[in-house]
Chain A
Amino acid sequence: DAKTTQPTSMDCAEGRAANLPCNHSTISGNEYVYWYRQIHSQGPQYIIHGLKNNETNEMASLIITEDRKSSTLILPHATLRDTAVYYCIVRVGGDYGQNFVFGPGTRLSVLP
């Protein structure tokens, strides 16, 4: 699976959009971009994933560049409860029994 690069930490004001970038310049054509987050002392939680089209769900939006070498996770109206470590993972899609490899992630702090 391709490697990803994320900033170590970011701050965001409560109520504003949080934009978390991720670089994955070696991504292959069949690899998806996944985002997970881990709120303190809990197991990681799935947020969203996509292949090449932008995706949106009730939690977030995922914007993938046309060359697929980078992506941005957008939390449209960040709340204090969104403070967490956010992991960007690139992985072949499908239920192939492969685990997800977690990098250090981005520590997002939502400030009041």
Chain B
Amino acid sequence: SAVISQKPSRDICQRGTSLTIQCQVDSQVTMMFWYRQQPGQSLTLIATANQGSEATYESGFVIDKFPISRPNLTFSTLTVSNMSPEDSSIYLCSVVKLSEQYFGPGTRLTVT
């Protein structure tokens, strides 16, 4: 299995600022995934983060808005830049290991 922790668990931010979310996994994994879940919606994949290379972004998400770092096989960060109220969501970190997908507890972001 994989145990994932995220920091912060929640935050309230002013529009125009940036927030960096940290994701730590208890074992080495090749790929880490970042999802967004807007209020009342299902999960949407933002990007896939590989260690040692640029993240791969899904349609509708760009690196300037959601820069991602992946410095090693157990850690990743997602930054939500120049925030607006539309960025208010839960952001989830995830990994796939042995045919199962594991999720962190999420970071609940509110932008005012």
Which residue numbers of A lie inside 8 Å of B, CB to CB?
Answer: 32, 36, 41-46, 49, 85, 87, 93-105
User: Whole-angstrom distance from the CB of A12 to the nearest CB of chain B?
Assistant: 21
Q: Is B21's CB within 8 Å of the partner chain A?
A: no
Contact A97–B30 (Cβ < 8 Å): yes
Which residue numbers of B lie inside 8 Å of A, CB to CB?
Answer: 4, 30-31, 33, 41-43, 45, 48, 90, 92, 94, 96-106, 108
Closest 5 CB pairs of A and B: A43-B103, A102-B43, A97-B31, A100-B101, A99-B33
- Per the bound structure, the CA–CA distance linking A85 and B90 in Å amounts to 15
- Collect the chain A residues with CB atoms within 8 Å of residue B43's CB: 44, 102
* 17 additional A-B residue pairs with CB within 8 Å, beyond A43-B103, A87-B42, A104-B42: A42-B106, A43-B4, A43-B94, A43-B105, A43-B106, A46-B101, A49-B99, A49-B100, A94-B99, A95-B99, A97-B30, A97-B31, A97-B48, A99-B33, A99-B45, A99-B96, A102-B43
Interface secondary structure of A, over-half rule? loop
The interface centre, meaning the residue of A94, A97, A99, A103 with most chain B CB atoms within 10 A of its CB, is A99
Contact B96–A98 (Cβ < 8 Å): yes
Can you name 26 A-B pairs with beta carbons within 8 Å? A32-B99, A36-B101, A41-B90, A41-B108, A42-B106, A43-B4, A44-B101, A44-B103, A45-B103, A46-B101, A46-B102, A93-B99, A94-B99, A95-B96, A96-B96, A97-B31, A99-B31, A99-B45, A99-B48, A99-B96, A100-B96, A100-B101, A101-B45, A104-B41, A104-B42, A105-B42
Contact A102–B42 (Cβ < 8 Å): yes
- Chain A residue nearest to B30 (CB atoms) is A97
The interface centre, meaning the residue of A32, A42, A103 with most chain B CB atoms within 10 A of its CB, is A42
The interface centre, meaning the residue of B30, B43, B102 with most chain A CB atoms within 10 A of its CB, is B43
Question: Are A97 and B96 CB-contacts (below 8 A) given A102-B43, A103-B42, A105-B42?
Answer: yes
Contact B99–A42 (Cβ < 8 Å): no
Contact A43–B42 (Cβ < 8 Å): no
- Collect the chain B residues with CB atoms within 8 Å of residue A44's CB: 43, 92, 101, 103
